[in-house]
Amino acid sequence: MGGTSTDVSHFAGEYERAFDTEVAGVRVRAPMMSIHSIAAGGGSIVHFDGARLRVGPESAGANPGPASYRRGGPLTVTDANVLLGRIQPQFFPRVFGALANESLDRTIVAQRFGELAQRMTRSAARAIAPEEVAGGALRIAVGAMANAVKRISVMRGHDVTAYTLQCFGGAGGQHAGLVADLLGMSRVFIHPLAGVLSAMAWTGRSDRHARSGARARVESRRA
């Protein structure tokens, strides 16, 4: 789980591969890891459409990023974790804000969730607390991730309760326990470097380029 999406795959002794896939609407015929992706990440935007609380599919991205990044971004799943105390600013480096020298901003997060809670209170005709809104957003995101895991496992006949949930990504460790609970899984494995998986893969990669193409030959005949 990263900032914009959650990617899931199934492993039962060997890597599963796909040979005919569709990526961003483009059909690709090439061997690759069988990975199912959904728009649920730490940067998924939390918003109220007048009737329901929604999470994503839009993302705040890296810039401006979540509201807590001090760059004027929208409320996101990351901000929900900040408000609920699941992310504690004092344990994060001071690399946020316009000059990249400030800590995560819990004050603006509380203010923005308070405003959202007021809108939902007027619509629901009952008092809704900011923490209730943040908790609801988190449950929506976790539910989407659990359903993604079900799609590649339960819907294909695998009993995930006997599996170990292994998580990667900057936001993976924040939500793995909740996802495991929804799936009835009792074990979660988090590697010490799980949060920097993509960076580790990039530095240890071996480049290989393959080119293929087709040529058309036009013959002109004289009558």
Q: What is the pLDDT of residue 205?
A: 65
Average pLDDT over all residues of the chain: 85
Model confidence band, residue 184 (pLDDT cutoffs 50, 70, 90)? very high
Query: Which residues neighbour 50 within 8 Å (Cβ) at sequence distance 6 or greater?
Result: 123
Query: Which residues neighbour 143 within 8 Å (Cβ) at sequence distance 6 or greater?
Result: 182
Distance (Å) of CA 94 to CA 113, 154, 171, 195: 23, 42, 18, 18
CB burial of residue 67 (10 Å; 0-12, 13-18, 19+): buried
3-state secondary structure of 49: coil
Q: What is the pLDDT of residue 214?
A: 53
| Lowest model confidence (mean pLDDT) among 28-37, 41-50, 83-92, 202-211 | 202-211
Q: What is the pLDDT of residue 222?
A: 52
Q: What is the pLDDT of residue 172?
A: 84
Q: Residues, the chain, total?
A: 223
> Which pLDDT tens digit goes with each residue over 22-74?
665 677 777 777 888 888 888 899 999 988 999 988 888 888 999 999 999 99
Instruction: Look up tokens 């990504």; give the residue.
Output: 169
Q: What is the pTM of this model?
A: 0.79
For the CA atoms of 77, 48, 117, 126, the dihedral, rounded to the nearest 10 degrees, stands at: -130
